[in-house]
Amino acid sequence: MKKNILTFILIFFSLAILAQDKVTNELKNLSDTQQFDKIISQYTSEYKDFSAKSLYYIGLAYYMKEDDTNCIKFMDLAINKDSKDPAPAYIKASTLNYMGKYNEAITYFQNAINLNPNDAESYSGLGDSYYQIKEFNLSLENYKKATLQKECPNRPYLMLAQIYYEQKENDKALEAYYTAKSKISKESHSYINVLFNIGLLESLKGNYEKAEPVFIELIQLDPADYHSYAKLIQIYYSRKEYEKAKPYKDKLYEAYAKGELKDNLKDMFCYDQFKWNGYQVQAFERYENKNKGNIYNKHLFYLINDSGQIVLRVQTEFSPISIELGGTKYLLCASKGNTHYNSGIGFNDDLNYSDLKTEAIKLFEKYNK
């Protein structure tokens, strides 16, 4: 009799295990095919006898639907049933990050890492948590650990470079971006981001011969990255290779005419930057005057001090009166505070930039006192 009871119990539990395995497989298939709504609608009413893995898949469905409360609920149920599985701990930690509960997230990322020390995603998530609470050394440490694991995502490579850049360690940032360039797929949008920052940092160091091919590669991959056109123009102007800059200026004007430019390129673009007497000078060119016949500034030189303040501006001003009198199209003027100065010097559209720059510097010397 006891033998028969034992046999019955074994059969009962075997059938229960098989039923649980069946549910788990169904949930896995639905999750793999991204049928998260179906998981939520069909499997969340009677979950108390589900296995830890089944509970995980239900929580994952809520995670993908951005329902943080229910995601954490089911991840907790999964963890309580099986505390050795790192997956629920990782998803809960990621959800806590999204909720801004970074200190709680740290605990669960660490739990996930203790259970699986080779998971790059967990180190990356932990790096994000520390970054958000401004523990940058710990953030760097975990991003570095992420890059040492197999199948590391793009984010740790990018974040290492970003943190170094934010800390004004440009050499380390540049090195990190070059590492990212060697690891990230060219098909990824992150690769475009990496190229732009390499070009930017090489330009800041004056390494234009290194920056130029990087921006050219970027434009070949993304012809609509108009900020890179402006950077190439600056490189060629710094080397007085004005003819090389012309095709890129033409592209910006074409994009302007089509209404494709946004942000700080929408009205004008920076085409030259240089130092003068300890000041930074940024030169801009406006595309055209939409209000025909009205006075407007075409070329603008901003004299910027160490605090980032504009202390003087020199600009060419479209002058309808000068044109009516048979004079030049633009007059070179300066502005300091509420004071406006007219130099009496004129230019046309076929101006020589070296001449314009020379005259602008003369006005810096005259009025920046």
- Please check whether residue 306 is in contact with residue 299, taking contact to mean a CB–CB distance below 8 angstroms: no
Q: What is the pLDDT along the chain (369 residues), one digit of tens a residue?
A: 444 443 333 333 333 444 457 889 999 999 999 999 999 999 988 888 899 999 999 999 999 999 999 999 999 999 999 999 999 999 999 999 999 999 999 999 999 999 999 999 999 999 999 999 999 999 999 999 999 999 999 999 999 999 999 999 999 999 999 999 999 999 998 999 999 999 999 999 999 999 999 999 999 999 999 999 999 999 999 999 999 999 999 999 999 999 999 999 999 999 999 999 999 999 999 997 665 667 889 999 999 999 999 999 999 999 888 888 889 999 999 999 999 999 999 999 999 999 999 999 999 999 987
Three state DSSP letters for 118-153: CCHHHHHHHHHHHHHCCCHHHHHHHHHHHHCCCCCC
- Please check whether residue 139 is in contact with residue 163, taking contact to mean a CB–CB distance below 8 angstroms: yes
CA distance 37 to 367: 68
CA distance 293 to 70: 63
Count CB atoms within 10 A of the CB of residue 37.
12
* Cα atoms in the Cβ-side hemisphere of radius 13 Å centred on 265: 21
Checking DSSP bridges between strand 310-318 and strand 297-304, what pairing results, if any? antiparallel
pLDDT at 289: 64
Close Cβ partners of 276 (under 8 Å, ≥ 6 residues apart): 303, 361, 364
Q: Report which residue type is found at 315.
A: Q
CA distance 195 to 186: 10
Give the Å distances, CA to CA, from 235 to 9, 51, 191, 193. 80, 62, 21, 19
Count CB atoms within 10 A of the CB of residue 143.
28
> Helix %, strand %, coil % for the chain, to 5?
60, 15, 25
User: Could you give the domains of the chain?
Assistant: 153-266 (1.25.40.10), 268-369 (no CATH)
pLDDT at 14: 38
- Please check whether residue 62 is in contact with residue 71, taking contact to mean a CB–CB distance below 8 angstroms: yes
Q: Which two tokens stand for residue 221?
A: 């991959």
Closest CA to 201 of 183, 167, 182, 175: 175
Provide the whole-model pTM: 0.84
Close Cβ partners of 305 (under 8 Å, ≥ 6 residues apart): 279, 311
Q: Which two tokens stand for residue 291?
A: 């209000």
Strand-pairing partners, residue 330, are 318, 347
Phi-psi region of 135 (alpha: psi -120 to 50; beta: other; left: phi over 0): beta
